[in-house]
Amino acid sequence: MLKLKSTLTPVAVASLLAFAAANASAAATIVITSRDAPGVGFNDPTPVDPVGGNTGTTLGQQRWNVYQYVAHIWEAALTSSVPITVNAGWEALTCTSTSAVLGSAGAWNAWHDFPGGVPGTFYPQALANKLSGMNLGADVPDDGTGYAGVDIKTQFNVNLGNTGCLDGTPFYLGLDGNAGSKVNFVETLLHELGHGLGFSVLSVNTATGWRANSDFSAYVSSGGVPSIWEGFMYDNTAGKTWLVMSNDERKNSAINPLGLAWKSSAMLAAASMTLGPTPGVKVATPVPGVSGFYDYNTAAFGPVVSNPSALGVLANIAAGDPAGQACNPLSPADAAAVAGKVPIIDRGVCAFTVKVKNAQDAGAVGVIIANNAAGAPPGLGGADPTITIPTVSISQASGVTLKQAITDAVKYGSRGRPGSVSGALALDATRRAGADAAGRPLLYTPNPLASGSSVSHWDVSAFPNLLMEPNINADLTTTLVPPLDLTVPLLHDVGW
Amino acid sequence: MSCNLKSYARQVGAVGAGLVLATAAALPLAAQADESASAPTDAVSNMIVVRDAQTGKLRAATAAETRALMGPVRQQRSARLNTVPRYNANGARGARLSDDMMSYSVVVRQPNGGLTEYCFANREEAEAAMKGAPLATNNLPTE
């Protein structure tokens, strides 16, 4: 038996077993077929040494072994009386020396209005087959490819690691998670097959909010067929699910940061088992109504901030400088205000690093950048190796509240010891990382609609990291259920 | 169903100076046309009114003029996909999807040498990332 990379505690194992027992049924069977030519891809005869539990002795064998290994993980996680079919190939995909398309995967057929499904609702074929108890693609005529009726199609980059294709960095084909500086193929394939099995809104164009029409030949402004996902996609701002939204409402919801959640009672329970407390700036002050947690983001420069850690007493500097707050060396008055403290500095006009360096030069022990526009706290880019104090960002609204509190706090102290506002980085046990205020896990909805975005992922604020976030993180395991992951609970919601 | 008058007028303007939309009454009917059709039929052409470039008077659009007018509007209201319809004897309907609609994994080597792996919703987004479009978690704002 292969040894999996896992950090499961006895409690976690017990939870996992309980989750599995609650969903016990016959496991699924996944049938993988190759479309590779002789000598290519799965048939590559290049000799290789066994690696990380993968005993294959040719490159092709090792690639095949990873597919089988990942298929077994999915087979254990899902149930279906109909075999799940996957067609796989290795192809030359887009590359540069520093980047590459690793591969792609997805449902190859989709259906609606089949026995056992919600009427008028699109499903990926593998799930439609499970619900109907029959292979809906069985009678699909061959289109010359030999795989017209399969559930899922995949292709991965046969050139990865060669010159001109992420030079020198191939797929890691071990099964133990110890990918080092290579690309972990197990996690990549596990993630992409997840999309093909049903972790996808599938029939909605998120850029327009339009749905696919009945034969999936076009996205249309009216009369489209909803996805099985839409009844679970609850927008906290709109106060309704995608199922009952207009096109524009769905479009807006797809770019409503931290506003779109997955709503089901089962998922609520799963998230409570899985997601950890939310990191925040913990503020303490005698000013009524201000103490508590404020969301923050981190900076690419300066020391890495850890949580928990102290920040210090917060301070204001003069506002209204047309040259931008802290864009020039601080005035004597501002320098006196920030010495030994953590100034809140408005974003704008000059680089974050300039503001922070000026504050550091004036004696500040940290900086909080307040956003100058509505929305979530921004990640702070830039580089300056001379910056040695920690920096975090907060939202514009939080900045307004805290700056006013710094002013108001004075009267809550004595003449010799004025009241103050202090901050520290801490974990908010009342909120789960990657969930909304009700504890529902959030889907990824950045604004603007960024590359890598899609509501068909969990939000990147989830902690611990989840398999189906848009970034495939290095600390993932191959466990798909609570308390480590939420992939299977979502798939159960849609019918698996 | 809605039809954006401003967008419609802009499309009309693109057809040619000799064609002018003279009545908004034509819009609702146009908006009801089958979105999956590739070209309008003559049946709707007499509901589109144009100003004749030579006489300056309003008249019903010809079929050719209607096709010229309606084509862009229909494109705007439906985005066609490279799929193949599927039918099952039990009444189920569906489609074979396309490579364009798959999820794509992309890896990018960062300036510090580390790798960052992203999953994109479709080929278009993945290709954009390969051309240097801003990614989800790098290229952070610097000011």
pLDDT in tens, A15-55: 444 444 444 456 999 999 999 999 999 999 999 999 999 99
**Mean pLDDT, range B50-74, rounded to an integer:** 56
Residues B70 and B10 in one domain: yes
Q: Which amino acid is at B38?
A: S
Confidence label for B68 from pLDDT (cuts 50, 70 and 90): low
Task: Using the predicted structure, report yes or no on whether residue B49 has a pLDDT greater than 80.
Answer: no
Cβ atoms of residues A375 and A256 within 8 Å: no
* CA separation for the pair B75, A92 (Å, rounded): 33
Range of the domain at B119: 101-130
Averaged pLDDT of chain B = 59
Its sign, for the CA torsion A317, A322, A327, A331, is negative
**Beta carbons of B81 and A216 less than 8 Å apart:** yes
Number of helices (H) and strands (E), helices first, in chain B? 4, 7
Residues B9 and B42 in one domain: yes
Query: Where a domain ends, among B61, B77, B93?
Result: B77
pLDDT of the residue at B3: 28
In a domain, B84, yes or no: no
Residues B73 and B9 in one domain: yes
Residues B11 and B51 in one domain: yes
pLDDT of the residue at A220: 95
Other C-beta atoms closer than 10 Å to the C-beta of A427 total 17
What is the maximal distance between C-alpha atoms in chain A?
Answer: 87
Confidence label for B43 from pLDDT (cuts 50, 70 and 90): very low
Give DSSP secondary structure letters for A436-495.
Answer: -TTSPBBB---SS--TT--TTSB-TT-SS--TTSSB--TT--S--STTT--HHHHHHHHT
Which residues of chain A form CATH 3.50.30.30?
277-432
A258 contact partners, CB below 8 Å, separation of at least 6: A376, A436, A442, A445, A459, A461
**Beta carbons of A192 and B79 less than 8 Å apart:** no
Q: Which amino acid is at A274?
A: T
Which residue in the block uniquely carries the two structure tokens 């707050």? A325
Portion 3-62 of B in contact with A at CB < 8 A: 35-36
Residues B12 and B47 in one domain: yes
| Option in B1, B99, B107 nearest A99 (CB) | B107
CB half-sphere exposure, B130, CA atoms < 13 A: 22
Query: Which residues of chain A fall short of a pLDDT of 50?
Result: 1-24, 451-452
Q: A277-432: which CATH number, 3.40.50.720, 1.10.3470.10, 3.50.30.30, 3.30.420.40? A: 3.50.30.30
Residues B10 and B54 in one domain: yes
A22-26, A58-62, B20-24, B107-111: range with lowest mean pLDDT: B20-24
Q: What is the dihedral of CA A423, A426, A430, A435, to 10 degrees?
A: 110
Which residue in the block uniquely carries the two structure tokens 């398309």? A101
pLDDT of the residue at A404: 97
B129 touches chain A (CB under 8 A): yes
pLDDT of the residue at A378: 84
In a domain, B140, yes or no: no
Other C-beta atoms closer than 10 Å to the C-beta of B82 total 11
Residues B18 and B68 in one domain: yes
pLDDT of the residue at A18: 47
Domain total for chain B? 2
Task: Using the predicted structure, report yes or no on whether residue B104 has a pLDDT greater than 90.
Answer: yes
Task: Retrieve residue A11's tokens.
Answer: 């409690």
* CA separation for the pair A342, A331 (Å, rounded): 16
Query: Min CA distance, A141 vs chain B (Å)?
Result: 10
Q: Could you tell me if residue B84 is left (phi over 0), alpha (psi between -120 and 50 degrees) or otherwise beta?
A: beta
- Give the residue among A268, A275, A248, A221 at the shortest CA–CA distance from A434: A275
Higher-pLDDT residue of B140 and A446 is A446
CA A272 to chain CA centroid, nearest Å:
17
Residues B105 and B50 in one domain: no
pLDDT of the residue at B53: 64
**Beta carbons of B117 and A102 less than 8 Å apart:** yes
Task: Retrieve residue B81's tokens.
Answer: 């996909």
Task: Identify the residue among A451, A465, A473 best suited for mutation to test binding to B, counting B beta carbons within 10 A and taking the highest.
Answer: A451
Query: Min CA distance, A80 vs chain B (Å)?
Result: 19
* CA separation for the pair A136, A154 (Å, rounded): 20
User: Judging by DSSP bridges, how do beta strands A391-394 and A367-370 pair with one another?
Assistant: parallel
Task: Using the predicted structure, report yes or no on whether residue B45 has a pLDDT greater than 70.
Answer: no
**Mean pLDDT, range B21-34, rounded to an integer:** 28
* CA separation for the pair A461, A61 (Å, rounded): 37
Residues B12 and B46 in one domain: yes
pTM surpassing 0.90? no
Question: To the nearest 5 percent, what fractions of chain B are helix, strand and coil?
Answer: 35, 20, 45
Which residue in the block uniquely carries the two structure tokens 């004595």? A414
Residues B68 and B34 in one domain: yes
Axis crossing angle, helix B5-15 with helix B63-77, rounded to the nearest 10: 130
**Beta carbons of A122 and B143 less than 8 Å apart:** no
